[in-house]
Amino acid sequence: MQRPIYLDNHSTTRVDDRVLAVMLPFFTDHFGNSASVTHAYGWAAEAAVTQARETIATAIHASPEEIIFTSGATEANNLAIKGVAEAHFAQGRHIITVQTEHNAVLDPCRYLESLGFEVTYLPVQLDGLINLQQLEAAIRPDTVLVSVMAANNEIGVLQPIAAIGALCHQHNVLFHTDAAQAIGKIPLNVQTMQIDLMSLTAHKVYGPKGIGALYVRRRHPRVQLAPQLHGGGHERGLRSGTLYSPQIVGFAEAVRLGLFEMELESQRIQALRERLWHSLRQLDGVHLNGHPTQRLPGNLNISVEGVDGQALLLGLQSFVAVSSGSACTSAKMEPSHVLQALGRAPDLAYASIRFGIGRFNTEAEIDRVAEGVVETIRSLRSISCGTRPIVPSSRTSSRQCD
Ligand SMILES: *Cc1c(COP(=O)(O)O)cnc(C)c1O
């Protein structure tokens, strides 16, 4: 049986062969612990980690000491949000974030609320962008952190990061951004964008899973952070644990390739996205979710009128791997919090598809998918008169994984 075409590149990506090639020697020949300073095995690992740190720092215009390796963006978000909150406990206990953030930002914020912090969850406009006046109005004397993602994982919307950074610095508030979807896809510059903390991950940009980093600004201002993992004092005491050298080397190569190929690749991927959208919008009652142009090149998120969300996903499963805007929490289906924040009615939020086009997709694949999606929607509409209630079952339920 042929596998479906992979268009779920916001969930994760295939590791690029060039990335795998640089990783492999670090599992075998160069297996040393980068913290072992007494022998050549350790030195080899240490040299590779140092080089990787430099590559990643350079890619975002930071310095190498400002890169703290983590297990991914979830851990980086936790370290940034809980670490800043804990270190600034005496100064203030108010945090500002946005309703459309990833759960790896929202959940640490909710946890801090349970400890007595106050969190403002800013709404978004219909296009998914925040309103800067609203952000400014939400800043209080006791605000210690603003956390706004660079690129949204569901609707691909790119927030005005540089303007947010400028606003935060004007008010002396630290600015964190979750750039898990942005690294290697759009230019990121922690200096011009005035970013104080930035979460990164490798596996959305053709690198390995289980590795990421937190950028932590050391000058103007020097960010104070409380570690969340204690142990051997690795990573300047901010994140203990033996460095995962094969993953770190792969992460750096993925970032390097992403940067090197960014311009051409985003043009190619965006053209594929436009091609897909051009075919799908021929149908009546198909709506684009999120800003039409201020979004990741490979993202297309649509809501479809007059079909049942669950039936739609089932119909697509055989030929395309995508995810939908409904997440199954325990026993009941819930429309995505992101689409709800855009003001999409539950029916339209359920019946949504997220396409994530990536490096390895071809024009022929996009054409096959477009044809199949149009056919599926037409046939679902012809057999149903309106939407039926959604009956969750363990086999057909989908979970948003990204
Ligand atoms: C994937 C993703 C994460 C989680 O990253 P992991 O490295 O898988 O922990 C966090 N935020 C966003 C926006 C993401 O897309």
pLDDT in tens, 235-284: 999 999 999 999 999 999 999 999 999 999 999 999 999 999 999 999 99
- Among candidate residues 205, 227, 256, the one where a domain is terminated: 256
Distances (CA, A) of 131 to 31, 124, 142, 164, 312: 49, 7, 21, 10, 33
| 266 and 252 share one domain | no
Q: Which residue has the higher pLDDT, 378 or 309?
A: 378
Exposed, middle or buried by CB within 10 Å (0-12, 13-18, 19+), for 220?
exposed
For residue 203, the ligand 1 atom closest to its alpha carbon is 7
Which amino acid appears at position 236 of this protein?
R
Total structural domains within the chain: 2
Q: Which residue has the higher pLDDT, 370 or 310?
A: 370
Average pLDDT of every residue of the chain: 93
User: Looking at the predicted structure, is the pLDDT value of residue 119 above 50?
Assistant: yes
For residue 201, the ligand 1 atom closest to its alpha carbon is 7
Q: Is the CB of 180 under 6 A from ligand 1?
A: yes
Q: How far is the CA of 122 from the centre of ligand 1 (A)?
A: 20
| 237 and 346 share one domain | no
Domain assignment of residue 359, given as a range: 5-11+262-383
**Is 328 assigned a ligand-binding role in the annotation?**
yes
- Among candidate residues 213, 229, 256, the one where a domain is terminated: 256
The CATH number given to whatever domain includes residue 323 is: 3.90.1150.10
CB 247 within 8 A of CB 34: no
In this structure, is residue 138 part of a structural domain? Answer: yes
Which pLDDT value is given to residue 399? 42
Name the DSSP class of 128. Answer: S
Q: How far is the CA of 319 from the centre of ligand 1 (A)?
A: 26
Residue 306 banded pLDDT, cuts 50, 70, 90: very high
Which pLDDT value is given to residue 332? 62
Q: Whose CA is nearest to atom 12 of ligand 1?
A: 180
**Is 201 assigned a ligand-binding role in the annotation?**
yes
In this structure, is residue 268 part of a structural domain? Answer: yes
In this structure, is residue 399 part of a structural domain? Answer: no
The CATH number given to whatever domain includes residue 97 is: 3.40.640.10
β partners of residue 212: 70, 201
| 236 and 291 share one domain | no
In this structure, is residue 225 part of a structural domain? Answer: yes
Which pLDDT value is given to residue 327? 58
| 219 and 313 share one domain | no
Q: Which of 109, 168, 328, 401 is catalytic?
A: 328
For residue 75, the ligand 1 atom closest to its alpha carbon is 9
In this structure, is residue 398 part of a structural domain? Answer: no
| 240 and 305 share one domain | no
Q: Which tokens is 285 given? A: 């009652």
Q: Is 328 marked active-site?
A: yes
| 226 and 316 share one domain | no
Mean pLDDT of 362-387: 89
Which pLDDT value is given to residue 390? 41
Residue 347 banded pLDDT, cuts 50, 70, 90: confident
> CA-CA distance, 8 to 166, in Å (whole number)?
33
| 181 and 272 share one domain | no
Q: Is the CB of 201 under 6 A from ligand 1?
A: yes
The residues near 168 (Cβ < 8 Å, ≥ 6 apart) are 139, 146, 174, 175, 194, 196
Q: Is the CB of 73 under 6 A from ligand 1?
A: yes
In this structure, is residue 388 part of a structural domain? Answer: no
- Among candidate residues 256, 278, 303, the one where a domain is terminated: 256
Which pLDDT value is given to residue 346? 87
Q: Is the CB of 402 under 6 A from ligand 1?
A: yes
CB 212 within 8 A of CB 255: no
User: Looking at the predicted structure, is the pLDDT value of residue 389 above 70?
Assistant: no
Q: Which residue has the higher pLDDT, 394 or 23?
A: 23
In this structure, is residue 397 part of a structural domain? Answer: no
| 77 and 162 share one domain | yes
Q: Which of 391, 377, 392 is nearest to 307 (CA)?
A: 377
| 131 and 240 share one domain | yes
Residue 232 banded pLDDT, cuts 50, 70, 90: confident
In this structure, is residue 126 part of a structural domain? Answer: yes
CB 199 within 8 A of CB 76: yes
| 144 and 207 share one domain | yes
Q: What DSSP string runs through 142-198?
A: TEEEEE--SB-TTT-BBP-HHHHHHHHHHTT-EEEEE-TTTTTTS---TTTTT-SEE
| 203 and 321 share one domain | no
Residue 383 banded pLDDT, cuts 50, 70, 90: confident
| 218 and 99 share one domain | yes
Which amino acid appears at position 183 of this protein?
I
What separation, in Å, do the N-terminal and C-terminal C-alpha atoms of the chain show?
26
Mean pLDDT of 334-357: 92
Q: Is the CB of 143 under 6 A from ligand 1?
A: no
